Homo-oligomer: A and B are copies of this chain.
Amino acid sequence: MADDNEQHLRWGVRRRLEFIDFRLFWEGRFNRKALADGFGISSQQASADIAQYESMAPDNLSYDAALKAYVRTANFKPRFIGQSTDRFLLQLAAIESDWMRKEDSWFDALPPAEVVGLSSRKTDPGHLLAVLDAIRNRLELKVEYHSMTGSAAPARTIAPHALAHSKGRWYARSWSREHNDFRDYSLNRIQRVFDPRPCPVDPKLDFEWAHTINLILVPNPALTEERQKAVAGEYEMTNGERKVPTRLSLSFYLMSEFNLDVEEGKLAPEKQQLILNNRTEVEQARAAARQMSKEALARGPRVTTQPSPLARP
């Protein structure tokens, strides 16, 4: 019956009950003021919400007059939030990395936490917007790329068709008019975007993007047998290997991130815990796809069908 009620709850009320659940689960406590302030409701309404929560999950909380707060009981069971750690940790990382404002989360006191990494230049919203519109409506754009030399960067014409993320950076997978092939352009190196217009090139010709291959990862045999087993467990391998389906164009990033592109033996095995078993296969497949794209693009004819403006992809 309680489950029945749950469906009838209005969106706003449900969010507030989730908030109570969230705070109890992760922080063990909350008080009425936090609820009222967080959602801009009166304290009376907050009381009513708490009463409702209690009626639906009586054993979850009790009021501690000394702490002036509601506290989680020992046999607490989350009632409204799917108890996903990921949401919690994601938000924590996002706040620590300044991607998100603390007020937009449901945290009160953040646990002491630190995120390792190098913060990078932010992406300009207008540029991302232009890229997204281009992807959706199959447009090409003129862009100026961040030039370090101070000299005026020549404008390039690119037609983005997908986004990719690696090592904290976002890339726009794009056709390049100048080179007549497909390449990656780092979003936050774009300095200026202008002159969007329909693009005749079919993104399906980007075979390096479209085709995937299984990277076959195994523990570095230079590690002790015990460490190898640990690595196998760490990366959830079965039969001593892990197959990772990867787009050909992205295999480079994954290889780079895990030092799979370094000759075996060159690095200390602890710095190269994984070995790519089918490296030549991957590299050949990638080169072949690249060649196929080039030939298809050179051959033309370029595709003619155009989606209507602002239509869904």
Q: In the complex, are the beta carbons of B163 and A111 less than 8 A apart?
A: yes
With A148-B226, A226-B148, A226-B149 known as contacts, the answer to whether A163 contacts B114 (CB < 8 A) is: yes
Q: A214 to nearest B CB, angstroms?
A: 13
A88 contacts partner chain B, Cβ-Cβ < 8 Å: yes
A269 contacts partner chain B, Cβ-Cβ < 8 Å: no
**Complex CA–CA separation, A311 to B28 (angstroms):** 10
Q: In the complex, are the beta carbons of B120 and A235 less than 8 A apart?
A: yes
Q: In the complex, are the beta carbons of A230 and B148 less than 8 A apart?
A: yes
Copies of the protein in its oligomer: 2
**Complex CA–CA separation, A83 to B253 (angstroms):** 29
Q: In the complex, are the beta carbons of A86 and B100 less than 8 A apart?
A: yes
Contact-residue size bin, chain A (C-beta under 8 Å from the other chain):
35 or more
**A29 interface neighbour in B12, B25, B226, B310, Cβ under 8 Å:** B310
Name the B residues within 8 Å of A86 (CB-CB): 98-100, 122-123
**A11 interface neighbour in B39, B88, B266, Cβ under 8 Å:** B39
**Complex CA–CA separation, A261 to B270 (angstroms):** 11
Q: In the complex, are the beta carbons of B233 and A148 less than 8 A apart?
A: yes
A301 contacts partner chain B, Cβ-Cβ < 8 Å: no
The residue in chain B whose Cβ has the minimal distance to the Cβ of A244 is B118
Q: In the complex, are the beta carbons of B111 and A247 less than 8 A apart?
A: no
Q: A272 to nearest B CB, angstroms?
A: 10
Among all A-B residue pairs, the 7 with the closest Cβ atoms? A112-B162, A116-B166, A148-B229, A12-B12, A113-B163, A86-B99, A148-B233
What are 26 A-to-B residue pairs whose CB atoms are below 8 Å?
A11-B41, A26-B129, A28-B133, A29-B310, A71-B310, A85-B128, A86-B98, A86-B122, A90-B94, A90-B99, A92-B165, A111-B135, A111-B162, A111-B163, A112-B135, A113-B163, A114-B165, A114-B247, A114-B250, A116-B254, A116-B257, A118-B244, A148-B232, A149-B229, A189-B234, A261-B271
